[in-house]
C-alpha cells in the first residue's frame, strides 16, 4: 500500500539538488562514456578524501562489495567467518556462496551490534575473518574487536553499508570513519542509504596497497590488464551515471547526516517518558548517522498493535529484521536452533523502525509520535 508518510522521501531530496544532479547527468550523457567514465574516478577520489581512506574501489552493489572483499583474502572452503545473526541476509549470504562457514555471535541488547565480548569464545582453528556489521548507523565496538583479531591473526571485514559517515573514537583519541578500521570495509549505495544513488552501487575501502590491487582486479574479471586474467573475478562496477549522482550527493552528505541526527533528536524528545518503548542508544565512543531510527517495544504484541495503528494512519514503518539469520531456512545446514542467540531473537520480535530521512519535518514527526503515544 502507499503511505502518506513514507519511510524515505527520495523525491523530496532530489528536488533540493535537482539542478546539480541534472547538470551532472547531462554531462555524462553528452560525453557518452557510461562505463568507467571520469566521474567514477572523481567520485572514488572524493570519497577517499572524505573517509581519510587510502583506497576506494567502487563496484556494482553492497553485496558484491562483501563478496569481493572475502575473495581477496584467499580463504578456503570451510574457513569460518564470525558475524552477527541480526542483519540483512547479504552479510552471511556471501559467506555461504563462497563455501565458507558463517559462525554467528549474539548481539548487544543496547546497540544491536555484534557483542564483542562473545567473539573470542567463538574462535576455532578454522576461523579466518571477523565480519562486524555497523547496524542502523553506528559502529560496532571496533577497538576491542580489532585487538581480538590481532591476537588471533584474523582478518576484519567491516560491513559499513548502513553507516557511512559514522565516526568511531579510540581510547587514544584517534577517530576513524566506519569501514576504514579493518582490513577491508564494504559500502552500499542503494537508493535509500544515507548516501544513495539512483540504482545499485557499492564500494570497497582499504588502507592496504596490495589488497587494493587485488580488490580492483577481482571486481574487473580478475584482470589488471585487458584480456589478461590473473584470477577468477566478477564483473562488478559502478556505472558513470550513478557515480555522477553520488558525486553530487557526497557534497551534501554532512548536511544529510545532520538532518538525520536532528530528526532523531526530535523523535527522542517527543517520545520521552513512554515507558513501553526503548529509544535508540548511542554508544559513547561513536556517532550515529541514523540510517534507521529503530525503537524496541516491550513485547511482540505491542509492536504488532502499534504497527497496525501506524498503517491505519497512513504512516509507514518497518521491521528490520523479523527473522534472524540463524533461523532462516537458507542457513539451516549450519545447525542453529531457536534459543541459540536470545538477544537477536528478542529483537526480531520487538523492534520497529520509524520513517527516517533527510526531509522529515517536525510537523510530520509530531503526527507520527502522537499516533504512537495515543494523543
Give dist(CA 135, CA 320) in Å, integer: 10
- Each residue's pLDDT tens digit, 180-203: 999 999 999 999 999 999 999 999
Strands 184-188 and 202-206: antiparallel
Q: Cα-Cα-Cα-Cα dihedral of 21, 23, 27, 28, to 10°?
A: 20
161 closest CA partner among 142, 187, 139: 187
Instruction: Burial-class residue 304 by CB neighbours within 10 Å (0-12, 13-18, 19+).
Output: middle
- Each residue's pLDDT tens digit, 233-281: 999 999 999 999 999 999 999 999 999 999 999 999 999 999 999 999 9
Q: What is the pLDDT of residue 1?
A: 62
Q: What is the pLDDT of residue 225?
A: 85
Q: What is the pLDDT of residue 298?
A: 96
Averaged pLDDT for residues 82-93: 98
Comparison of pLDDT for 227 and 28, the residue scoring more: 28
DSSP string covering 330-375, please? Answer: GGGGG---TTSSHHHHHHHHHEEEEP--TT--HHHHHHHHHHHHT-
- C-alpha cell of residue 374: 495515543
Number of H helices, E strands in the chain: 12, 14
DSSP string covering 111-161, please? Answer: T-SB-GGGTGGG--TTEEEEE-B-GGGS---HHHHHHHHHHHT-EEEEE-T
> Within a 13 Å sphere around the CA of 10, how many CA atoms are in the beta-carbon half?
12
DSSP state of 82: E
DSSP state of 191: T
Give dist(CA 71, CA 81) in Å, integer: 13
- Each residue's pLDDT tens digit, 149-172: 999 999 999 999 999 999 999 999
**What is the reported pTM?**
0.97
Least confident of 189-193, 228-232, 320-324: 228-232
269 near 293, Cβ under 8 Å?
no
Q: What is the pLDDT of residue 306?
A: 98
18 near 368, Cβ under 8 Å?
no
Query: What percent of the chain stands above pLDDT 70?
Result: 99
For the chain, what is the mean pLDDT? 97
Q: What is the pLDDT of residue 279?
A: 97
- pLDDT higher than 90, residue 375: no
At residue 127 the predicted structure's pLDDT band, cuts being 50, 70 and 90, is: very high
At residue 122 the predicted structure's pLDDT band, cuts being 50, 70 and 90, is: very high
Contacts of 54 (CB under 8 A, 6+ apart): 48, 206, 207, 208, 209, 212
Q: What is the pLDDT of residue 55?
A: 98
Query: What percent of the chain stands above pLDDT 90?
Result: 96
At residue 116 the predicted structure's pLDDT band, cuts being 50, 70 and 90, is: very high
Q: How far is CA 255 from CA 77, 192, 236, in A?
A: 44, 16, 30
Identify the sign of the CA torsion 299, 135, 321, 295.
positive
Q: What is the pLDDT of residue 184?
A: 98
Amino acid at each position: 500500500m502507499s503511505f502518506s508518510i513514507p519511510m524515505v522521501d527520495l523525491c523530496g531530496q532530489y528536488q533540493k539538488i535537482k539542478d546539480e544532479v541534472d547538470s551532472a547527468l547531462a554531462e555524462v550523457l553528452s560525453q557518452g562514456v557510461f562505463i568507467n567514465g571520469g566521474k567514477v574516478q572523481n567520485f572514488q577520489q572524493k570519497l577517499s578524501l572524505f573517509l581519510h581512506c587510502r583506497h576506494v574501489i567502487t563496484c556494482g552493489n553492497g553485496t558484491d562489495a562483501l563478496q569481493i572483499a572475502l575473495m581477496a583474502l584467499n580463504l578456503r572452503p570451510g574457513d569460518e567467518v564470525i558475524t552477527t545473526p541480526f542483519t540483512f541476509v547479504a552479510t552471511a549470504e556471501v559467506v555461504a556462496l563462497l563455501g565458507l562457514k558463517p559462525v554467528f555471535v549474539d548481539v548487544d541488547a543496547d546497540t544491536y551490534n555484534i557483542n564483542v565480548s562473545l567473539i573470542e569464545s567463538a574462535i576455532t582453528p578454522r576461523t579466518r575473518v571477523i565480519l562486524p556489521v555497523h547496524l542502523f548507523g553506528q559502529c560496532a565496538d571496533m577497538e576491542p574487536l580489532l585487538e581480538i583479531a590481532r591476537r588471533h591473526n584474523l582478518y576484519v571485514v567491516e560491513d559499513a553499508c548502513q553507516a557511512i559517515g559514522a565516526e568511531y573514537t579510540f581510547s587514544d583519541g584517534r577517530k576513524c570513519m566506519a569501514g576504514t578500521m579493518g582490513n577491508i570495509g564494504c559500502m552500499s549505495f542503494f537508493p535509500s542509504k544515507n548516501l544513495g544513488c539512483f540504482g545499485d552501487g557499492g564500494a570497497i575501502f582499504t588502507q592496504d596497497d596490495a589488497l587494493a590491487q587485488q580488490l580492483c582486479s577481482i571486481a574487473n574479471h580478475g584482470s589488471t590488464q585487458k584480456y589478461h586474467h590473473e584470477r577468477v573475478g566478477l564483473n562488478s562496477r559502478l556505472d558513470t551515471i550513478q557515480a555522477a549522482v553520488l558525486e553530487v550527493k557526497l557534497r551534501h552528505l554532512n548536511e544529510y547526516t545532520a538532518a538525520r541526527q536532528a530528526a532523531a533528536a526530535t523523535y527522542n524528545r517527543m517520545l520521552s517518558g513512554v515507558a513501553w518503548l526503548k529509544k535508540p542508544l548511542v554508544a559513547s565512543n561513536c556517532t550515529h548517522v541514523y540510517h534507521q531510527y529503530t525503537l524496541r517495544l516491550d513485547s511482540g504484541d505491542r509492536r504488532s498493535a502499534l504497527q497496525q495503528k501506524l498503517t491505519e494512519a497512513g504512516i509507514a514503518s518497518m521491521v528490520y529484521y523479523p527473522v534472524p539469520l540463524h533461523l532462516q531456512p537458507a542457513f539451516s545446514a549450519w545447525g542453529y536452533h531457536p534459543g541459540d542467540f536470545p538477544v537477536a531473537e528478542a529483537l526480531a520480535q520487538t523492534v520497529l523502525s520509524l520513517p527516517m530521512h533527510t526531509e522529515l519535518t517536525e510537523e510530520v514527526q509530531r503526527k507520527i509520535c502522537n499516533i504512537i503515544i495515543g494523543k
